[in-house]
Amino acid sequence: MTEDTLSPVLITNNLATRFIGQKVIYHPRLTSTMALARQAARQGAAEGTVVVADEQTAGKGRLKRLWLSPRGSLALSIILYPDMSYLPYLMMLASLAVVHSIKAITGLKAQLKWPNDVLIDDKKVCGILIESDLRGNTVAYAIIGIGINTNFRLTDFPEILPHATSLADKLGKEISRVAVIRHLLVETERLYLALPDGDPIYREWRDRLVTLGRKVQVKSGETFLKGIAESVARDGSLLLRHSNGSSTKIVAGDVTLRDYK
């Protein structure tokens, strides 16, 4: 096997977790790890089951956008059955797990952009998607989807070159995706088991956001808003302060960090 080969055995062997990653469903090629994880959750898959693919042909990001996930990238989804009170923290802890894992495996320092992007030198290296199925006051399941640009060359994909990067491009060499996955699963479980006390997770996530204090433009639905990204609440929402002193709470949207006039 080459260093970058993926397999359930390589991921699970002596993995230092209680449940996350103890069962891995692997496919060389999938339409979407989220779609398969959703199906597995509905069929009662064990909590912590992970779906991993070498390549996704129809990966999705937030707002149903296409997520490019060619061979050499890292795409996985984690099935959880959390308490309702945990839901606001899933994006936060997943983001932190990615940042910690990138640092541990590559030495690269990553930052966070609200709401779900992981950046290196202001370029996107990872996207995170949280999907949950609510039944009244209970969570039927939640899925954390993570896509990391690892070992593919950005020059092969000029459409994303201006705003994206990969770990291999930053390091000048390929890395072991297995090593990244294993560290990511350990970190995710460590942070997940720290709940319901989400205060340390919220504070670290907030402090790592490059968005705060910046002039930004936010696209929320069909509306474009401008202002200072002032703060984030514990539910993950962004408070945008406008030039006239008023403010808007943004629950979901896309942020552009480039300064505007």
**Over 70: is that where the pLDDT of 84 sits?**
yes
d(CA 189, CA 18): 8
d(CA 243, CA 43): 50
Top CATH class, 215-256: mainly beta
Q: What is the pLDDT of residue 219?
A: 86
Instruction: Calculate mean pLDDT across residues 14-27.
Output: 98
Q: Which fold has domain 8-208?
A: BirA Bifunctional Protein; domain 2 (3.30.930)
Place of tokens 């952009």: 113
Q: How many CB atoms lie within 10 A of CB 49?
A: 21
Please report which confidence band the pLDDT of residue 258 belongs to, taking 50, 70 and 90 as the band edges: low
58-82 residue pLDDT tens: 655 544 555 567 888 999 999 999 9
Percentage of the chain surpassing pLDDT 90?
77
215-256 shares the fold of 8-208: no
The alpha carbon dihedral of 19, 21, 27, 29 has a sign of positive
Q: What is the pLDDT of residue 1?
A: 37
Mean pLDDT of the chain: 91
Instruction: Calculate mean pLDDT across residues 5-34.
Output: 96
135-166 residue pLDDT tens: 998 999 999 999 999 998 788 888 887 889 99
Is pTM beyond 0.85? Reply is yes
Residue spans of the domains in the chain: they are 8-208, 215-256
**Over 60: is that where the pLDDT of 223 sits?**
yes
